[in-house]
């Protein structure tokens, strides 16, 4: 299906480009512009990623959507004054949409198809200055000079929604994307040359800047490449996975984790994961250390931190690197930042420098934390579901690398006081398969764990005591 791109409202978070500013042109041009706008709302590039539009699309079995509802959207307001019949007239010229006999509803002529190659057809461009009221429309017109676009997305700062001065643009085909990237002279804005590259090159640049490798680098790239927010295809896939054996609907009990004050559902994909958009961003809850000389001892680092912080911080460090991150369960005060600097002056016998990471790095770090906590939560819930008093790996006796349950003895099981730390290390080593345990990740000291069927997951007091004893 070929969908002509047009601009959508800010609320829908998708914007497609228009070839020219035709709203001030002839009557035929106005009708064409209105038609294109509504076609975009129903397009493969927008409909399955717009939760409100999808709810309208699926509200009835025939997929009819009220024309009056669509006409009320922000980018349609300039046409509403022409009347309902005028908008119906515009829609009747569409090859992609159809209007019912009563001229009250509109729907697609074809089934929704999952878009392919969006990442490969997307580019990054920076240098657009500050935002003004008509910047979106100017951007659409600018990029459509190079080829047909499906979406022009203004990038914004989470929290205050301030425009970053950069955009991601999805072109309708690879040729248009390449024409833009290889344009001569190079694209410029207000007389200044833009910084441009493919979206893939942008991902690689950010990964290199952060010094990420292995699975963390892959997760970072997936985070940038994937579309954030609602995804109807993913929702439908999740529903299918909820089907029980023999065709009966038997959805598995849900696993939830409490992460930095927010309750998040654990997905079973990849052995336990969370959706990036569900992870809260807590600004200022992370500190970065530099100069450790390629090694770090979690035990030595956490000992002075326990004196000040109720929950043991989460430490992320790759052996051989000179830098690492420490995550806390809340935003740090100035006094707490100074405490860390004063009481953790050295790591691995080397004097380190402490700083606050950049926003994007901190966001990704918190996503990594949430995914690690999700894997641990799912693993524990599965152990509880299938374990016994003398289970195998992860069971009553704890099994290899996870002793500390079932049979007694000092520290709550065989393995003594260090059982809690070993259990978490086993989880980490399983995640690092093929990477020779390069990545060393210490689980949160807080209750970022989930239990099937429980509203608020908790960690057993005995396990917390063992973790403390280990350090």
First to last CA, the chain: 60
pLDDT band at 215 (very low <50, low <70, confident <90, very high): confident
pLDDT score recorded for residue 384: 66
* Dist. CA 64–CA 281, nearest whole Å: 38
pLDDT, tens digit, for every residue of 346-376? 999 999 999 999 999 999 999 999 988 888 8
pLDDT digits (tens, 9 = 90+) for 108-123: 999 998 888 888 999 9
Q: Which of 27, 16, 29, 102 is nearest to 67 (CA)?
A: 102
**How far is residue 187's CA from residue 195's CA, in Å, rounded to a whole number?**
9
Question: What confidence tier does 240 reach under pLDDT thresholds 50, 70, 90?
Answer: confident
Q: Which residue has the higher pLDDT, 24 or 184?
A: 184
d(CA 147, CA 153): 16
C-alpha torsion 453→459→462→468, nearest 10: 170
Instruction: Name the region of 294 (left: φ>0; alpha: ψ -120 to 50; beta: rest).
Output: left
- % the chain with pLDDT above 70: 73
Handedness of CA 71, 151, 226, 131 (dihedral sign): negative
What does the block give as tokens for 229? Answer: 């927010």
Of residues 67 and 461, the one with the higher pLDDT is: 67
Q: Which residues, at least 6 apart from 359, have a Cβ–Cβ distance to it below 8 Å?
A: 157, 158, 283
Q: How confident is the model at residue 124 (pLDDT cuts 50, 70, 90)?
A: very high
Q: Are 257 and 272 in contact (CB under 8 A)?
A: no
Question: 65-74, 112-121, 228-237, 461-470: which range is least confident on average?
Answer: 461-470
Highest mean pLDDT pick, 255-264, 280-289, 392-401, 404-413: 280-289
Percentage of the chain lying above the pLDDT 90 cut: 41
- What is the per-residue burial (b if ≥16 Cβ within 10 Å, else e) of 246-271? eeeeeeeeebbbbbbeeebebbeeee
In this prediction, residue 7 carries a pLDDT of: 37
Q: How many helices (H) and strands (E) does the chain have?
A: 15, 18
Average pLDDT on 388-409 reads: 40
Residue positions counted in the chain: 471
Residue 441 confidence (pLDDT) above 60: no
pLDDT tens digits for range 154-212: 998 877 789 999 999 999 999 999 999 999 999 999 999 999 999 999 988 988 888 88
> What local confidence, expressed as pLDDT, does residue 424 receive?
35
Dihedral sign (CA 350, 356, 358, 361): positive
pLDDT value at position 385?
A: 59
Among 40-49, 66-75, 272-281, 423-432, the minimum mean pLDDT is found in 423-432
Instruction: Give me the mean pLDDT over the 1-12 stretch.
Output: 37
Whole-number pLDDT of residue 423: 35
Contact partners, residue 33, CB within 8 Å, separation at least 6: 6, 18, 22, 23, 79
pLDDT score of 442:
40
């Amino acid at each position: 299906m070929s969908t002509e791109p047009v601009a959508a409202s800010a609320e829908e978070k998708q914007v497609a480009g228009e070839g020219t500013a035709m709203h001030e042109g002839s009557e035929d041009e106005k009708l064409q512009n209105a038609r294109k706008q509504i076609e975009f709302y129903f397009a493969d590039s927008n409909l399955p990623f717009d939760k409100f539009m999808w709810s309208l699309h699926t509200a009835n079995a025939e997929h009819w959507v009220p024309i009056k509802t669509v006409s009320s959207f922000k980018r349609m307001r300039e046409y509403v004054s022409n009347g309902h019949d005028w908008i119906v007239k515009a829609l009747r010229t569409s090859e992609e949409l159809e209007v019912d006999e009563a001229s009250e509803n509109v729907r697609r002529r074809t089934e929704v198809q999952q878009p392919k190659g969006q990442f490969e057809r997307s580019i990054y461009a920076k240098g657009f200055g500050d935002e003004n009221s008509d910047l979106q429309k100017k951007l659409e017109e600018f990029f459509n000079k190079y080829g047909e676009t499906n979406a022009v997305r203004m990038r914004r700062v989470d929290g205050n929604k301030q425009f970053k001065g950069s955009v991601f643009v999805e072109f309708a085909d690879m040729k248009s994307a390449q024409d833009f990237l290889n344009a001569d002279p190079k694209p410029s804005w207000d007389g200044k040359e833009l910084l441009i590259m493919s979206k893939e090159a942008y991902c690689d640049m950010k990964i290199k800047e952060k010094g990420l490798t292995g699975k963390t680098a892959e997760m970072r790239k997936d985070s940038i490449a994937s579309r954030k927010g609602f995804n109807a295809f993913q929702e439908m896939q999740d529903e299918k996975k909820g089907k029980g054996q023999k065709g009966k609907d038997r959805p598995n009990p849900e696993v939830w984790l409490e992460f930095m004050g927010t309750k998040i559902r654990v997905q079973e994909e990849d052995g336990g994961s969370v959706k990036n958009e569900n992870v809260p961003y807590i600004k200022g809850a992370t500190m970065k250390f530099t100069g450790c000389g390629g090694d770090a001892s979690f035990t030595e680092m956490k000992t002075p931190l326990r004196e000040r912080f109720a929950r043991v911080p989460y430490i992320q460090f790759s052996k051989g690197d000179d830098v690492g991150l420490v995550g806390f369960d809340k935003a740090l005060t100035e006094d707490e930042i100074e405490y860390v600097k004063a009481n953790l002056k050295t790591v691995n016998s080397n004097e380190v420098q402490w700083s606050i990471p950049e926003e994007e790095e901190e966001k990704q770090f918190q996503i990594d934390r949430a995914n690690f906590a999700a894997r641990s939560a799912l693993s524990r819930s599965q152990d509880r579901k299938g374990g016994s008093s003398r289970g195998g790996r992860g069971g009553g006796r704890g099994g290899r690398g996870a002793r500390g349950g079932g049979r007694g003895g000092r520290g709550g099981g065989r393995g003594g006081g260090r059982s809690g730390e070993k259990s978490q290390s086993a989880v980490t080593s399983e995640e690092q398969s093929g990477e020779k345990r390069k990545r060393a990740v210490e689980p949160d000291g807080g209750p970022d764990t989930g239990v099937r069927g429980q509203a608020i997951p908790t960690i057993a007091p005995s396990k917390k005591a063992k973790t403390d004893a280990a350090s």
